[in-house]
Amino acid sequence: TFWPHVCVCPHCRAKYRSETGREIPRTIDWGSPDWCTFQSARERWMTEFAGELSTCVKALRPGVTAYHNFATALFSWRQGVSFASAAHHDFLGADFYGDPLEQLVVIKLMSNLSQNRPAEFMTSRCVHLYDHVRMKPRDQMRMQAFAATLFSAAFLFIDAIDIRGTVNPRVYERVGDVFSETAPYEPWLGGDPVEDIAVYFSDDARMDFAENGLPLSGPSPWSAAYPHAAALRGACRALQQAHIPFGVITRKQLDALDQYKLVILPNVLRMRAEETDAFRRYVRDGGRLYASRYTSLTESSGSP
């Protein structure tokens, strides 16, 4: 459930015109209310689509558990997947292929954003999905499985099957061996994490002011390299290295900020009034706030 590109087909143009009386902007401009309104519409439409799918499935199979792969929510704005769409997932799950820090950030985000726990972290058993023959080293597979277990997350190994349709039985022997090591800890999983510090992740800030003026066709739709993500990773890395318990939170926790000793806003370039109001109340009531670089430079509507 994501946009593979910025769609400007006749149907999208007509829908946007009927809602706003405006035409779809031709260029990216995060300082323009017109552009920000269009991006908000893209995210709302995709959230509504996810809701329609979940409703349809549950009407056909009452009680079934459904979720839509949440991986694209961490990419840039182009996929149009807002964190609000989590409301249409019975639980959050996603596949990622990066470093251990990415796994840490993703699991902490999904655990606090998911409607139900556990969230599910998925990754490949192979070196890369494009290299579906070589297996990862056993120690790397063990580390990834135990990292999910550490935070009471579900874990899944993806096997990219050979194009001939054959499977390698040694893969499943290895996976079985790894899971046999984490299985003894399963009876003790669950509960609420202890998090002294909150690192704030804003889906409105999955963008870059350097994109202003670019056409809708660029840059790559699969980029996860935006300033807010880099700052968020940096904050999480520093806290991890200092062995300080922290969580990754979103707007879902705005009414519960008082449970944290410190909240970090890592270069949150765009913010909504409800967010700035909540953080002001948090500080006024004795909370500590660290806001880096261009945090709250503009409102999410495009206004300074």
Residue 12, pLDDT > 90, answer yes
Omega of the bond leading into 169 within 30 degrees of 0 (cis): no
Mean confidence (pLDDT) of the chain: 96
| Strand arrangement of the beta sheet that strand 120-124 belongs to | 93-95, 120-124, 154-158
Dihedral class, residue 296 (left if φ above 0, else alpha if ψ from -120 to 50, else beta)? left
Tell me the per-residue pLDDT of 53-68, one tens digit each, with 9 for 90 and over.
999 999 999 999 999 9
pLDDT in tens, 215-226: 998 777 788 889
Quick check: helix, strand or coil at residue 167? coil
- What is the pTM (predicted TM-score) of this model? 0.95
With residue 197 as reference, give the H or E element that holds it: strand 197-200
Contact 227, 235 (CB under 8 A): no
Residues 7 and 79 sit within 8 Å (Cβ to Cβ) = no
pLDDT tens digits, one per residue of 142-175? 999 999 999 999 999 999 888 888 889 999 999 9
CB neighbours of residue 84 within 10 Å: 16
Look at residue 254 and give its three-state secondary structure: helix
Which residue type occupies 252? K
3-class SS of residue 44: helix
Instruction: Say if CB 156 and CB 141 are below 8 A apart.
Output: no
